[in-house]
Structure 1
């Protein structure tokens, strides 16, 4: 009912490297992506350790010149700056699936993840995954991240709404049956709603950002 009547056709091959703990979660978004895209375009690979010896197929993909790792950072290229998919160009898009802490740990602990070109999406979308706490308002779920990225690479803005429709339906159902909306960690901190003790580096980061805003 909420999945597209016809799977979305794309040129991009999507590879989800899924942390084992993510599979245990009841409310996952990677399956929505898997069933929303045409067959053989979304591959979910489970694991948290990948190496050239232990994961030769993954390593082969990561070495290809058209492979992109979606992971934000100062050295990541804005996805919108890359040439879009065309007759002679298509991409392999690699996404790390797990909590943000798990994804960061996977990136830092797997040297082969430094092989592909690193990209990020600069966007103004707020996550629709309102039944799960995100670190920041700008952070998106796996299906949302892939949907935004594909809409850019494929030059098809409609992909975003089509692929995230099941997520909206899931959250609506959960909210109607007792779930409560979750604000991001950043929102809670800024509005005095965060009850856990903050780490020193988080406090320093907030102070630095506040000082920067005051200087502007």
Structure 2
């Protein structure tokens, strides 16, 4: 960022004015609640989307921290984690998920449950971790109550709208707002949720690209978010 470093930030999306799209956001009345848990070290205020996702939904919260004793404590009201789901792919691979489903319920081994529609029925809310893969893993292990919730994984048919603005460790990786849009729209069978949230995201990206072109912002250093550990394979012998 250049001259906009000293610019006041929007109280809703925490972005400088040249990147803020809050005035055009029309919040959607979602029935399935959204809770975003943001790692304290997630500081991508230019391209981050957690606050924009909460801005675009009437039933959504953002909490920043590492651990909470229970879902009820983080929500500030009584809640049964067994009626919620946590979005966490973990060590599972999208290629192993059912190809005909974009939102998949996993068992404790990271495998897709056989009766998907039944497992998804009646969910009252979803939890999304906001941060790098390593930060999401930290949030998962620091909050034991998530193990009482259902575990979801996404297998999106389309790549992230980020395009070449931000590199991701996996093809199926999405921004937080895209993950929320895909999850909620499929759970509620309401494509208008995804349409509305992606419209806001695309508008923000348009502003970011315009700011890049004008020199109002400078692109971040080309870093890659930490992905899941890769298995080491032994180099085959060259002996004949």
Q: Give me the TM-score of the superposition, normalised by structure 1.
A: 0.70
Question: How many residues matched?
Answer: 187
For residues 145 and 19 of structure 1, what CA distance do their matches in structure 2 show? 16
Q: Is 2:81–2:146's contact at 8 Å kept on the other side of the alignment?
A: no
Distance 1:156 1:29, change over 3 A: same
Q: CA deviation at 1:115?
A: 1.7
Q: Is 2:38–2:131's contact at 8 Å kept on the other side of the alignment?
A: yes
Q: Is 2:38–2:62's contact at 8 Å kept on the other side of the alignment?
A: yes
Matched, 1:172 2:189: no
For residues 25 and 224 of structure 2, what CA distance do their matches in structure 1 show? 36
Q: Is 1:3–1:163's contact at 8 Å kept on the other side of the alignment?
A: no
For residues 140 and 207 of structure 2, what CA distance do their matches in structure 1 show? 34
Aligned equivalent of 1:204? 232
Q: Structure 1, residues 10-50: CA drift from partner, whole Å, max 9, x if none? A: 11011111111225633320111111112xx1011111122
Q: Structure 1, residues 92-116: CA drift from partner, whole Å, max 9, x if none? A: 1111111121111211233222121
Q: CA deviation at 1:185?
A: 6.0
Deviates more, 1:137-146 or 1:2-11: 2-11
Q: CA deviation at 1:5?
A: 5.6
Aligned equivalent of 2:73? 57
For residues 143 and 223 of structure 2, what CA distance do their matches in structure 1 show? 28
Q: Structure 1, residues 169-216: CA drift from partner, whole Å, max 9, x if none? A: 222222233367999969xxxxxxxxxxxx9x63737x9xxxxxxxxx
Q: Give me the TM-score of the superposition, normalised by structure 2.
A: 0.64
Aligned equivalent of 2:8? none
**Alignment match of 2:173 (pick from 139, 147, 161):** 139
For residues 5 and 169 of structure 1, what CA distance do their matches in structure 2 show? 10
The unaligned stretches of length 5 or more in structure 2 are 1-20, 93-108, 213-217, 236-240
Q: CA deviation at 1:58?
A: 3.2
